[in-house]
Amino acid sequence: MALSLLESKIYLNEDMQDIAAFAFAGGMVCVYTARSPEKTTPNEDSLALLPCAEQTGVLVIADGLGGLRAGDLASRHAVDSLAATVMRCCAGQDSMREAILNGVEQADEKISAMGLGAATTVAIVEIRGREVRPYHVGDSMTLITGQRGRIKYLTVPHSPVGYAVESGLLDAKEAMYHEERHLVSNVVGTPHMHVEIGPKVALAARDTLLVGSDGLYDNLQVDEIAAIIRKGPLASAARTLAAQCRTRMQDYQPDRPHKPDDMSFILFRPG
């Protein structure tokens, strides 16, 4: 089904039993979120699909920081703020770039004003037909892969380990087991927060775009993720991705990544 602006899908800390699939921005999108299998407290991830026009929309994932107070509220503020500013953009008041940046800034102010020390990461993708542009704060990530599994784009996590991989000081497999992997140096809710704006990327017909929280990337290597999402129907790929990530969280093996955590992702393929 197609979504109008008034039918924007916002998933606030809701565990999902199956993949939700929608027509979106001229393509197809699949959504999944679930809390860590090891906790009974709320899922601290929030997601949103924000349609703007037939070929235009915005994808959002916010991951409230675990170990800090009110992570679920922090991620909710991020999604709510972006939904409001994107809606104003779609009404013709701002450019989409300006709307996204304003939304993150407003979320930063709201979270800071809570006075609880809460914070969240956020990963955002603007879609305009076959062209997409990522934005992010923290270690929630955006991945674009071609049908043959070639990585076309991958955000760099805002963390010491992420920067070490980008500079060649660590390889990706070493980084998965690094003791400081989960330190994040840039989050929404802090005075010096900054938004990284990625390049515009043109999608080919069978490219797949993934936006995900670190619960996904901490349990599956990037090449494993790309191998799953590049082929087959999008909903089937999404179900396989969710199932394999849950298995990693629940079944510790010393030779495989394992970190129980809240986990969310959005998959998109253009029409």
Q: What domains are there in the chain, each with its CATH number?
A: 5-270 (3.60.40.10)
Query: For residue 170, what are its two tokens?
Result: 């660590």
- Above pLDDT 90, what percent of the chain? 75
CB-CB contact of 230 with 145 (8 Å): yes
pLDDT band at 2 (very low <50, low <70, confident <90, very high): very low
Neighbours of 62 (CB within 10 A): 35
pLDDT band at 179 (very low <50, low <70, confident <90, very high): low
Listed in sequence order, the residues at least 6 apart from 55 whose beta carbon sits closer than 8 Å to its beta carbon are: 25, 26, 127, 128, 129
- State the number of CA atoms in the 13 A half-sphere of 209 facing the CB: 31
CA angle 226, 264, 23 (to 5 degrees): 75
Q: Is 118 helix (H, G, I), strand (E, B) or coil?
A: coil
> What is the reported pLDDT for 7?
60
pLDDT of residue 1 exceeding 50: no
pLDDT of residue 177 exceeding 70: no
pLDDT of residue 106 exceeding 90: yes
> What is the reported pLDDT for 160?
73
Phi, psi of 213 (to 5 degrees): -80, 170
> What is the reported pLDDT for 178?
64
- Above pLDDT 70, what percent of the chain? 95
Each residue's pLDDT tens digit, 17-56: 899 999 999 999 999 999 999 998 889 999 999 999 889 9
Model confidence, pTM: 0.93
pLDDT of residue 250 exceeding 80: yes
pLDDT of residue 252 exceeding 70: yes
> What is the reported pLDDT for 110?
97
> What is the reported pLDDT for 243?
97
Helix axes 222-229, 234-250, angle to 10 degrees: 150
Radius of gyration of the chain (CA): 17
Q: Exposed/middle/buried for 168, CB within 10 Å: 0-12, 13-18, 19+?
A: exposed
Indicate the DSSP class of residue 5: G
Question: Strand pairing partners for 31?
Answer: 20, 266
CB-CB contact of 53 with 42 (8 Å): no
Each residue's pLDDT tens digit, 55-100: 999 999 999 997 678 999 999 999 999 999 999 998 887 799 999 9
Per-residue pLDDT averaged across 165-184, rounded? 74
